[in-house]
Chain A
Amino acid sequence: MSNIEIKNFNMYYTNFHALKNININIAEKRVTAIIGPSGCGKSSLLRSINRINDTVDGVHTSGEINISGKNIYNIEVNVGILRRNVGMVFQRPNPFPISIYENVAFGLKVNRIYSNKNVIDDVIEKSLKAVLLWNHVKDKLRKSALSLTLEQQQRLCIARVIAVAPSIILLDEPCSSLDPIATQKIEELIMQLSNKYTIVLVTHNMQQAARISRSTAFMFLGKLIEFDDTEKIFTNPSIKETEDYVSGRFG
């Protein structure tokens, strides 16, 4: 199980109330999109699901985020293990300035998940295959990750996440620095990954949400306005603000 149940969740940057009483149930093994105008809190919500926002000065929260029934904001939760289970891919591809191999091995080695080289090699091959990068890089694993194209770098970042065996992958506008062709390829990859992983995708691009997600959440000014099947959100939303946004009247 890897569903995400967010209950009465609030988040503040010092005094700024960025997420206002969010309630949402994200089902497992499918793509859920979060859309909404700039500054509405999409990234803040996403970054609360793996608690990476804990590292920002002045952030505090109330309410619950339950993953597989357990509140990740509980005192006894091990944040390291949580973050391994809930991987994150960022807006700008951010491979480490080391080799392709070391990028994917990083989480395994530093977290001391495996120490046997053969096992690590195996995980790296599987992870790179999962993002359809293996054939391209198998002969240059020792080359710098920065020698790859942006699209390949983003695939590598996804492979780096997959290597530590998450069940959830959060993607924060993963295609916004890619060209249309690369975007399409990453979208295909995301859909394919949703067979195995629960995927939460923040996007500015409504066509993208419509193309690849099963459910869509619309946020506005820190609130969750509407959450429903993607088809319903884009063709027949129940709330006026959602309709205005998806029909391009603002945002």
Chain B
Amino acid sequence: MIKLSPRLSQKISYLLLFLATVLAIVPGLLIISIIIAKGKDVFFAWDFLTLMPINGMLDGGIFPAIIGTLLLIIITIFLSLPIGIGAAIYLNEYAKDNLLTRMIKLSIVNLAGVPSIVYGLFGLGIFVMYLKLGVSIIAGVLTLSVMELPVIITTSRSALKSVPYLFREASLSLGVSRWDTIKYIVLPNAIPGILTGVILSIARIAGETAPLLFTAVAFYTPYLPHSIYDQVMILPYHLYITATQIPNIGKDRIFATAFMLLMIVLTMNFIAIIIRIYFRKNRKW
């Protein structure tokens, strides 16, 4: 074996690590640029985004699918965020460290790792069939919430945990109650972490099909939902069926749909980054 000089081996390892980074990001960039390049014409014609689909989805737009995806995300946030944060506060601030608490924590970690199709089937069994909600927005939202809760609880708990214990003790030792300490000291310091984590996890569900396939999704609805008991179109599923089930559809329409989905996810990630930068500026410990 040839012995390399320290300088040379430095350079080689630097190069290898740099290549690894490039390999990691090139496919992503490639996908994004292809989608933008092929989808931009239809996308920026705006009609595509604001019209109902017609003619067996060969013409018109994807408006109901955009609305469906946004509706599901927004209602899921409003439903699961308070419950998730509440559970995280209980587990992190109040629960005594006993067998029951440890079992709850362990199950939450494990639930976060259950494949989404399993949640989809659970939602079908419980919400759609047993509770007779039918394939509907509400059944989809409940399924997504059940799926997201373990993730929200886990991220919220780590955000709560990162607030130094010293702050809690300082507040308690001023005679401030436990709940006021949580309200005025712990939560304000944990909120950025919680929000960032939650938005990122929500961005992830924007692209999910499996949990919604049997619980909320319509193949084709040429109108907007009237109530939470209606079915909806969603972008990822629409993307899948237009790409595989409908021959003769313009490829640029498919790419424009992907473009829209990408925009939703990137926007949410962007919001998460803004929140993080905004709060980072104001605190350092």
Contacts and interface: CB of A to CB of B under 8 A. Distances in A.
A97 to B, nearest CB: 4
A146 interface: yes
Contacts of B180: 110-111
Given A94-B164, A94-B166, A146-B284, A55 B175 contact: no
Interface in B81-98: 96-97
B18 interface: no
Interface string A32-66: 00000000000000000010100101000000000
Interface in B153-171: 164, 166-171
Interface residues of A, number: 28
B170 A55 contact: no
Contact of A83 (B173, B184, B189): B173
Contacts of A110: 171, 174, 176, 180, 184
A81 B174 CA distance: 9
A107 B177 CA distance: 11
Interface residues of B, number: 24
A248 B154 CA distance: 49
Interface string B162-205: 00101111111111111010001100010000000000000000
B172 to A, nearest CB: 6
A73 interface: no
Interface stretch (A84-92, A208-216, A220-228, A239-247): A84-92
Nearest to B188: A98
Contact of B173 (A57, A88, A111, A144): A88
A167 to B, nearest CB: 13
A106 interface: yes
Nearest to B185: A96
A191 interface: no
B175 A52 contact: no
Nearest to B96: A57
B176 A80 contact: yes
B283 interface: yes
Contact of B283 (A79, A90, A97): A97
B173 A87 contact: yes
Nearest to B170: A94
Given A83-B174, A94-B164, A164-B174, 8 more contacts: A55-B178, A88-B173, A90-B166, A97-B285, A110-B174, A146-B284, A157-B170, A161-B173
Interface of A: 50, 52, 55, 57, 79-84, 87-88, 90, 92, 94-97, 106-107, 110-111, 144, 146, 157, 160-161, 164
